[in-house]
Chains A and B, each alone.
Chain A
Amino acid sequence: MSVKDRVIAIIAEQAVLEPSDVTMDSTLEDLGIDSLGLVESIFAIEEAFDITVPFNANAPDQSDFDISSVGSIIAGIEKLISEQVS
């Protein structure tokens, strides 16, 4: 499974939706994921890819990690994975 598919699966599980309902331009709000759900999703992503996501719930805009859409989250994770490999 690709990074994209695995992230979508994690987000879909959190939102109690089918992966097909999660699109790249969906926002977490669209999917009904609140702040606790977001923190839980990031934990699941960190565990799945063995990475550390720089996210502070107090300052999501200032965190070096864009959570504005599913697409931006996937892009951020792909970047973190590549940085970790290199």
Chain B
Amino acid sequence: MKRVVITGAGTINALGRNVSETLEAMREGRCGISDLEFRDVERLAIRIGGQIKGYHPEEVFNRQQMVLYDRFTQFALLAAREAVAQSGLEFHGELADRAGVVLGTSGGGLITQDENYRSVYEEGKNRVHPFVVPKLMNNAAASHVSMEMNLRGPTFTVATACASSNHAMGLAFQMVRSGASTVMVTGGSESMLCFGGVKAWEGLRVMSKDACRPFSANRNGMVQGEGAGVYVFEDYEHARDRGAEILAEVVGFAMTSDASDIVMPSKQGAARAITGALRDGGIAAEEVGYINAHGTGTAANDKTECAAVADALGAQADRVMISSTKAMHGHCIGGTGAIELLACIMALRDGIVAPTIGYEEPDAECALDVVPNVAREVQVSTVLSNAFAFGGLNAVLALRRAS
């Protein structure tokens, strides 16, 4: 079995246009959630989100690219460019054949669908642009990353709602660890902040109208975000031999299914994913210093997640720090685990644990150290990243400080 290290990271989200801006915002506990801006927003009951503002794709992509790249593809490409540039890798010959892409997304080109349905249904047009299908398909982002970077190995998309990018990164980890690939570009991307996207979420009545307050007793729901996080996962020996800077080591991964309810989370399913990731990485509970929580700010998730962490870590649950950065960048659905992995890398590399902002009132059902409101300087050696999706699908990654 190979060791797997992260040698590049990239992102774009409501907190920043790249990793350094995002980490600075996380350190400062800045909130990227604001009033949504898009057509028909006045017909929504929910009008806030972690929307990327002041973003002008036509300044980055040319006309031929713009007609093919949905917003979620643009985000994936921007994050992948940053990650691959940091890794210093160029993909030619055998390395290109042994490198692939696995990205998570839930909605894929949802904005493209929304715009074109509006055009044919509401506006009564009988013709749509010829590239609607290649623009909206869920694998468009992974394919464009593969094309732009010349990654010619295994390339595909994973769609498991809010766990998509953790599942994607978990599969990338397993492929590099098994020796099937030398390098995998992995993470996730999401862009559902459009009228139809938010209207659908409104229907479930789990969205907050004012703020995302994970673990706080007065929390009243989730707030959606958008963006991408992309990483370069590389065979440790390959990275070492070329003298690459190692951001962190990926050491464990587990996925489980609750097999119980389509939306209500299960403590057992989440706890099995956490213990599974520890077992996979040969990690003792006492080693875990920080958990990046799924922490959606819904009544159901946060108490179930805290109970699952308490079950899985035992006495260590009283010592571990657990924070949800969703209060800052929103819930980026199929890209969220990838954006949140940045907080894990910051904890391991910089010794700074991102806070749970918006925390106002303790909740007896979430009685863990949730790092309320202010980032903390603490050295940690091992961290976990939780993702628990609708559909009862759970995916937990374990990372260690580079050594």
Binding site for B on A (CB under 8 A): 34-36, 39, 42-43, 52, 55-59, 62
With a CB–CB cut-off of 8 A, which chain A residues contact B206? Answer: 56-58
Is A39 a contact partner of B204 (Cβ separation < 8 A)? yes
With a CB–CB cut-off of 8 A, which chain A residues contact B208? Answer: 56, 58
Is B264 a contact partner of A35 (Cβ separation < 8 A)? yes
Complex Cα–Cα for A35 and B298 (A): 13
Set A34, A35, A52, A58: member contacting B220, Cβ < 8 A:
A58
| SS of B interface (majority) | loop
Binding site for A on B (CB under 8 A): 45, 203-206, 208, 219-221, 262-264, 297-300
Complex Cα–Cα for A62 and B221 (A): 12
Given A35-B264, A36-B263: A58 and B204 interface contact (C-beta under 8 Å): no
With a CB–CB cut-off of 8 A, which chain A residues contact B219? Answer: 58
With a CB–CB cut-off of 8 A, which chain A residues contact B262? Answer: 36
Is B263 a contact partner of A56 (Cβ separation < 8 A)? no
**21 A-B interface contacts by CB (under 8 A):** A34-B264, A35-B263, A36-B262, A36-B264, A39-B204, A42-B205, A56-B205, A56-B208, A57-B205, A57-B206, A57-B221, A57-B299, A58-B206, A58-B208, A58-B220, A58-B221, A58-B297, A58-B299, A58-B300, A59-B220, A62-B220
> Chain A's nearest CB lies how many Å from the CB of B2?
43
Complex Cα–Cα for A15 and B216 (A): 33
> Chain A's nearest CB lies how many Å from the CB of B43?
12
* Least CB separation from B299: chain A residue: A58
Complex Cα–Cα for A59 and B300 (A): 10
Set B205, B263, B298: member contacting A55, Cβ < 8 A:
B205
Contacts A58-B206, A58-B221, A58-B298 supplied; 6 other A-B pairs, CB < 8 Å: A35-B264, A35-B300, A56-B205, A56-B221, A58-B219, A58-B297
* Least CB separation from A57: chain B residue: B205
Complex Cα–Cα for A59 and B220 (A): 6
Complex Cα–Cα for A10 and B221 (A): 26
Closest 8 CB pairs of A and B: A58-B299, A57-B205, A58-B221, A59-B220, A58-B220, A58-B298, A57-B206, A39-B205
